[in-house]
Copies of this chain bind each other. A is one copy, B any other.
Amino acid sequence: MNFRSDNEAPVHPKIMSALMEANVGSASAYGADPWSLQLNDHFSQIFDTEVVVYPMVSGTAANALCMAQLSPSYGAIFCHQDAHLNVDECGAAEFYSHGAKMMTVEGTAGRMDVSALSRTLSLLGFKGDHDPLPAVLSLTQATEWGTVYSLEQIRALTAVARNHDMLTHMDGARFANALVSIGCTPAEMTHHAGIDVLSFGLTKNGAMAAEAVMFFNPKLADQFGRLRMKGGHLLSKMRYVSAQLLAATEEELWLTLASQTNTAARRLGESLSRLGDHCRLAAPIQANELFAHLSEELNQHLVAAGCQYHRWPGTEDLYRWVVSWDVSENSLLRVEQACRDFIDQ
């Protein structure tokens, strides 16, 4: 019962099959292969607009390259204080952007408040060249706390950004989980809601290493290829990345997997919520993650029952559970049983 991370899961068989199928004969290198050449059309259909797609193998790299593309070195990047971009990437955004200023925004459960964004923005603009230039708003969907911005919330945030001439980025490491959680289209959650650029992630959703940067405004993609190359992120045998991107988004595999993990996370939440004071959810469960304060007694019981999950860094009793695509019905039943046992004991 491994609920430590969706990065620990294996590759989905259909994606593995796609890699096998792509492994026939020679193919042009550096993205000139037949798989890569399909990407723009493929994702333009999915996102219902003309998108420019750059395959990547790392979500951190996708995010950081986006920041370098959208922000000058003297720019300011606004994101939630707990954003992966801010606290989990060893300063990759600052590195790639040549020192852009991170401006963190508060908000409960991983979601920036519109008013907090305005408040953070109001700190700039008084000191002329001493202040960085507001450049990028980056929001994570689903968030680092397993919650999801509503379409209204995204639109409200991007409207503030637009009013300050900023560009907007969505970190979609768990994009599909948010999508099925809301029940909207990819277009509605991105460019319809004011998003300019997306870090689209599939690695956590069954792929081996498959991410993509997607530009909804092709002009913003200008020379992004050279930036990717300069960062060492252009792979020679690109067909194997592109084949994953295609396989995972064909026949709605990505949505099916995300739906399953979301549902499983909710089931876990329901079981744990029945344990009274021993479990207090720290955030609503809207994707494939669950954050809960557990009593030490409950924690020990669950660990003894074989549950694997992480205590959140810097906390005493906050734990994160993540459901991977390969979660089994059996493991869910065992957690549910463990919860019942805890009540009964």
Contacts and interface: CB of A to CB of B under 8 A. Distances in A.
A98 B99 CA distance: 6
A232 B65 contact: yes
Contact of A313 (B102, B127, B234, B240): B127
Given A65-B232, A231-B232, A240-B208, A10 B29 contact: no
B130 A74 contact: no
A133 B91 contact: no
Contacts of A36: none
Nearest to A226: B74
Contacts of A96: 99, 232
Given A10-B25, A130-B88, A229-B89, A122 B314 contact: yes
A131 B90 contact: yes
Contacts of A127: 88, 313
B28 A8 contact: yes
A16 B240 CA distance: 12
Contacts of A99: 91-99, 230
Taken together, the copies of this chain in the complex come to 4
A96 B122 CA distance: 26
Contacts of A59: 236
Nearest to A64: B232
A28 to B, nearest CB: 6
A27 B8 contact: yes
A192 interface: no
A304 interface: no
Contact of A128 (B30, B64, B87, B232): B30
A74 B98 contact: no
A231 B95 contact: yes
Interface residues of A, number: 82
Contacts of A57: 57, 209, 235
A203 to B, nearest CB: 6
A72 to B, nearest CB: 7
A119 B129 CA distance: 32
Interface string A118-161: 00001100111111110000000000000000000000000000
Given A10-B23, A123-B313, A91 B73 contact: yes
Nearest to A326: B26
Contact of A74 (B11, B90, B122): B90
Given A102-B102, A225-B129, A230 B73 contact: yes
Nearest to A16: B23
A35 B63 CA distance: 27
Task: Return the 6 tightest CB-CB contacts between A and B, nearest first.
Answer: A61-B232, A126-B313, A95-B99, A94-B99, A7-B29, A74-B226
30 contacts: A4-B26, A7-B236, A8-B26, A10-B24, A10-B25, A11-B23, A19-B19, A26-B326, A61-B232, A61-B233, A73-B91, A73-B95, A74-B229, A88-B127, A88-B130, A89-B230, A91-B99, A91-B132, A92-B99, A95-B98, A95-B99, A99-B230, A122-B314, A129-B228, A129-B229, A129-B234, A208-B237, A209-B237, A209-B240, A232-B233
Given A74-B90, A96-B99, A129-B225, 17 more contacts: A11-B240, A57-B57, A58-B233, A60-B229, A68-B73, A72-B227, A73-B98, A73-B230, A76-B91, A89-B230, A92-B231, A96-B232, A204-B236, A208-B237, A209-B235, A209-B240, A232-B233
